[in-house]
Amino acid sequence: MGIGVPAYNRRRLVALRWDPEAGKAVRLMAEEAPAANRRDPESRAATGWGLAASVYIFTVVMMGTTLPTPLYPLYEERFGFGTAFTTQLFAIYAVGVIAALVVFGRLSDGLGRRPVLSLGVIFSIASAILFLIGSDVGLLLTGRVLSGLAAGIFTSTATVTVLENAPVGRERLAGSLATAANMGGLGLGILSSGLLAGFAPAPLFTPFLVNAIMLVIAGVALLLVRDRTGGQMRGNRGAVRLQLPGIPASAKRMFLAASPGAITGFAVCGLYSAIAPSFIGQTLHVTSTAVTGTVVFLLFGASASAQLVFRALSDRRLIIGGTVTMIVSMGALVAALLVSSLTVLIASSVLAGAGQGLVFMTGMRAITAVTAPEHRTEATTSYFILAYVFMSVPAIGAGSLAATVGLANATTIFAIGVAFVCVFGLMAARRFSSR
């Protein structure tokens, strides 16, 4: 009886088997190797090309979710709706994200990463096409829902895909690239849309055309992405089920402690994404989409940068530092409105983004650290759902309030509310590790 030792060369799969009669190891061709020693085609070694492709796809899809942000004032002018409807147009995107997290959260475990990511790319392309047509408000609403579905699919699947495509020794780099693709993609979508709308023809057409072309390239790039599920779980009906939210008993206290960070961090993202374009134009009298795009881009760029730069600090330091930074950013936002200063507004955007990135990242890793592996998906799904609910609801409230008290006053009330909730985050900081 021989002992099989798997070995692989660049051209074909072989196996080494010890032959007692020959007194040496002999090579077997792929078709002769025992089934146990054969690799599934999808379990090929991760390469730099697979990592680059997965990061590109993640980035492009997330870019598509924020393209409309700098364009909201143009849509208001074209269709005649106000800030209140703009916030609803933004919030319906969050509904799509939450729906996708529940419906598609575990689908890639049963069907494979690539098929699920392909669905996300298709949703994103469909959203871009609807905005390209853009002939009525109904198309915009439908496009935002599809965009939210794409974002929800990628939130639950693309991060693990990036990590699974990391070559040996590049796991830490892959984690950083996944963060950069997620938050950086959101920021790049806003920046590119603002710049294209400001300097290219057809401001409500060109940004979505460019994104649609990039998404088609992303669809082709999926062929380079490694799918580690590679048939191992496909056909397992138990793996294809709804990912219902839930908080395991072991994580309840930490989830409660991390909640203020998720609430305030995403509420701030919602404010800047849904309302900032309007108050930049109405209060600061700056109508350039390039300026609007840059201001909001800085928030998401600061979020991604802060997560990459400060990730080695202790959880307690990050929670305290991030929360205090957000409180300061809300003070700067109110000051920017009072003195009508674009410079101060930019500072508040950078501070808000940095604070949001730190508290949300820390909350997520603290929750996963105290949760058993088999319950982590439901716990993180709950955390994301909480975040996206508070990304949309406060923004809708501020938009509705603006109709009564004015946009500047509504934004000031919002900022005070965020700072108030941040205090609870500081009170809960003692629950986080100091190491």
Where are the domains positioned within the chain? 4-39, 47-243, 248-435
What are the tokens at 356? Answer: 């949001």
Q: What is the pLDDT of residue 425?
A: 92
Q: What is the pLDDT of residue 230?
A: 55
Domain 47-243 has CATH 1.20.1250.20: yes
What are the tokens at 228? Answer: 């580690």
User: Which amino acid, 296?
Assistant: V
Q: What is the pLDDT of residue 322?
A: 95
Q: What is the pLDDT of residue 76?
A: 86
Distances (CA, A) of 85 to 315, 397, 398: 38, 11, 11
Angle (nearest 5°) at CA 12 between 174 and 30: 115
Non-local (6+) Cβ contacts of 427 within 8 A are: none
What does each of the 435 residues of the chain score in pLDDT, given as a tens digit?
433 333 333 333 333 343 433 434 444 444 444 443 444 444 455 678 888 999 999 999 999 999 998 998 899 888 888 777 888 887 889 889 988 888 887 777 778 889 999 999 999 999 999 999 988 899 999 999 999 999 999 987 888 888 888 887 777 777 778 878 888 899 999 999 999 999 999 999 999 999 999 999 999 999 999 887 654 545 555 556 676 777 888 889 999 999 999 999 999 998 888 888 887 888 888 888 999 999 999 999 999 899 888 888 899 999 999 999 999 999 999 999 889 899 999 999 999 999 999 998 899 888 888 888 777 777 888 888 898 888 888 888 888 888 888 888 888 999 999 999 999 999 999 889 887
Do 47-243 and 248-435 share a fold? yes
Residue 370 buriedness (CB in 10 A; 0-12 / 13-18 / 19+): middle
* Closest listed residue to residue 235, CA positions, set 119, 133, 322, 110: 110
Residue 57 buriedness (CB in 10 A; 0-12 / 13-18 / 19+): buried
Q: What is the pLDDT of residue 311?
A: 83
Q: What is the pLDDT of residue 392?
A: 85
- CATH number, span 248-435: 1.20.1250.20
Predicted TM-score (pTM) of the model is 0.79
